[in-house]
Amino acid sequence: MQEFATKEITTDVLIIGGGMAATGSAVEAAYWGKQNGQKVTVVDKAAFDRSGAVAMGLSAINQYTGENSPIDYLSYVQQDLMGLCRQDLVMDIARHVSGSVHMFEGFGLPIWKDAEGNYVHEGRWQLMINGESYKLILAEAAKNAIATLGDDGEIIERVFVTELLMDKNDKNRVAGAVGIDIREPYDFYVFKCKVAIVACGGAVHVFRPRSTGEGLGRAWYPPWQSGSTSALMQKAGAEMTSQEVIFIPARFKDGYGPVGAWFLLFKAAATTASGVNYMEEGFKEGGELHNWLPYGAVKPIPTCLRNHLMMKAIYEKGDGPILMQTADAIERIASEAPDEKAKKKKMKELEAEAWEDFLDMTISQAILWASKNVYPEKQPSEIAPSEPYFIGSHSGASGAWCSGPEDLQNDASKSEYFWGYNRMSTVTGMFSAGDGVGLSSHKFSSGSFTEGRIAAKAAIKFCVENADMPEVDMDKVSYIKEKTYAPMKLYEDNKGYSVVDEKKGYTYSEEINPNYIDPKMFMFRIQKIMDEYAAGWGSQYTCSAITLNIALDLLKYCREDLDKVAARDIHELMRYWENVHRLLTAEAHVRHKLFREETRWPGYYYRADFPKLEEDAWGKVFVNSKWDDETGEWEMIKRDNIDIIKLGEVVGQ
């Protein structure tokens, strides 16, 4: 088998990931690192310029507080998540996020302005942008910042981090990471660091996607986010939180085009196939939302409840598909023009905006519209609830249980929510941000960048106050290296295919061999289990203790079969490791779903055996978990949802 050289990098701060959170971390770490003589290294599995969820660009910045107070934002977030969020974390981002957005504008991001020069809002918190090059612009800013460090700053691309290294003398302190180089010369990387900021985004393709065949791989969130953040941290022994709170985005069917601009900017209505405005119906006196009080009575209707109303219409009433009434919305806005000529001009403008919304962030939806001859100004378009995603930065809440800022705690929360360094996990020296931090939802791109900045500032403080380098056990690293490439060895030892010569193998296809399975097949296994037993779209988002226990049994067999997965080349080796990360993310998710005996987020998932909100038992608790990598044991933990801040009443979208 091919030999892989080992390359060692020693740094103070290791930023793992190169997305929104990581660019924020890089900018801030470079600033404070320069003042304090700290080295900063960024490692990204992809090309920094276009990596992460924002690769295709975005058409809006979804978190901008502007003239609203941070408490307004917190109130909105808490009610959207059916009462569950860490108030200190959400407030912390809300008070800093507008500053980050102003930085983006300074970096060159075009934000829409009206005739008076004010930002054009999509909704109360969202700003419209020309965001095709959003990620490129932030990557450039991060590169410039890292460059100011000279030899003390480095960005390494195309290296996939497979696992973290712990201190030889302290099992609960991070000491580094290892990763595989997926470009020549294919080195095995060993990073040694004082702190790691783990910011590898959320998890996609843990559940079976709706897309199949030639569309397979298309998802709303990027398929190259494979649960690395949660798996790396959980494996390192970190306490994780809210792994049950996935996000089901309602999206334009098949292309996964986002709906925000249609609902908020164009104020379009979504209806059932027979034309019922199911959201209005649900909100009315005696409507379905009254079964979910107090959250069913608020506006905007929480994201999961909007889904719930849609799912009821499709699955219970058979009144699907759901239609976004794009033509009505465009006609309504254009009709406000003073005369026919102005109306025609306005129509053209709106049509262009409708296409640009997708061309800026979900090009595949524009391609699908074009290929299906869809004219948004003439006809409605189907929207549908998609498969579940793990994304702590949007309307989900999964991620690491992290320390919050000291100044926002009260007497009750200080001992529970603060342990020295903002956004540090329960593992010493291991920080996170963006999709990786649990219970600080609705941060989106701008809030993830902001949280990256917050984490990096605290990480540099940690380095200054803890100057000693942890020790990496190089014997253990040798063992890890062998294990890392084992799937390639398995392939080399068993490769060959011939129907006539048995020595050369057993079948005519490289993919089918009794001695191994390939990583893609292994991923399908996980997806099928999750879809059918853990409340994916194929089971109409419904599970019970019985189905979840079946899922756990089947996932256990997947774990047993991990050493039967083979990799034909370095790219498949990365696919193997992506699935190792997906598997741990899946296991954690099922355990969390099993532990919380209620249905708190209808529209995300239903516990058929506990079909209601159980406010007394579960309304004020978070579900956390820890995994012991050596024994494979899980510990489930309840943590209090402590009120720190008095919330305001939220009105308006």
Note the residues at the interface with ligand SFD (CB under 6 A): 16-22, 43-46, 51-54, 58-62, 160-161, 199-201, 220-222, 225, 228, 258, 260, 361-362, 393-394, 434-435, 444-446, 448
Strands (E) in 55-121, as ranges, are 58-61
Residue 371 appears among annotated catalytic residues: no
Residue showing the smallest CB distance to ligand AMP in the complex = 260
Side-chain half-sphere exposure of 397, counting CA atoms within 13 A: 29
Q: Which is nearer to ligand AMP, 123 or 227 (CB)?
A: 123
Question: CA-CA distance, 522 to 564, in Å (whole number)?
Answer: 10
Residue 419 appears among annotated catalytic residues: no
Amino acid at the residue 317: K
3-state secondary structure (DSSP) of residue 553: helix
Question: CA-CA distance, 406 to 66, in Å (whole number)?
Answer: 24
Min CB(247)–ligand SFD separation in Å = 9
Catalytic residue among 32, 125, 220, 369: 220
Residue 282 binding ligand AMP, by CB under 6 A: no
Min CB(286)–ligand AMP separation in Å = 21
Min CB(260)–ligand AMP separation in Å = 3
Residue 496 binding ligand AMP, by CB under 6 A: no
Taking the chain, what is the end-to-end CA distance rounded to the nearest angstrom? 58
Residue from 41, 18, 49, 397 nearest 225 by CA: 18
Q: Compute how many other C-beta atoms are within 10 angstroms of the C-beta atom of residue 383.
A: 21
Min CB(205)–ligand SFD separation in Å = 13
Residue 513 appears among annotated catalytic residues: no
Residue showing the smallest CB distance to ligand SFD in the complex = 19
Whether the Cβ atoms of residue 524 and residue 586 lie closer than 8 Å to each other: no
Catalytic residue among 88, 357, 360, 578: 357
What are 176's strand-pairing partners?
A: 165, 192
For residues 591-620, which are near ligand AMP according to CB under 6 A? none
Catalytic residue among 25, 51, 59, 62: 62
DSSP secondary-structure letter at 261? I
Which of ligand SFD, ligand AMP, none lies near 300, with the C-beta cut-off 5 to 8 A by kind? Answer: ligand AMP
Residue from 172, 164, 173, 240 nearest 202 by CA: 240
For residues 191-250, which are near ligand AMP according to CB under 6 A? 249
What are 111's strand-pairing partners?
A: 129
Which of ligand SFD, ligand AMP, none lies near 653, with the C-beta cut-off 5 to 8 A by kind? Answer: ligand AMP
Side-chain half-sphere exposure of 268, counting CA atoms within 13 A: 28
Whether the Cβ atoms of residue 440 and residue 89 lie closer than 8 Å to each other: yes
What would the two tokens of residue 172 be? 């609960």
Residue 259 binding ligand AMP, by CB under 6 A: yes
Catalytic residue among 72, 80, 88, 122: 122
Report CA 45 to chain centroid distance, whole Å.
Answer: 16
Residue 68 appears among annotated catalytic residues: no
Candidates 65-73, 101-109, 253-261, 449-457: pick the segment binding ligand AMP (CB under 6 A).
253-261
Q: Which is nearer to ligand SFD, 52 or 429 (CB)?
A: 52
What would the two tokens of residue 504 be? 């050369």
Which of ligand AMP, ligand SFD, none lies near 18, with the C-beta cut-off 5 to 8 A by kind? Answer: ligand SFD
Catalytic residues: 62, 122, 220, 251, 357, 394, 445
Binding footprint of ligand AMP on the chain (CB under 6 A)? 62, 123, 126, 249, 258-260, 263-264, 300, 303, 306, 395, 653
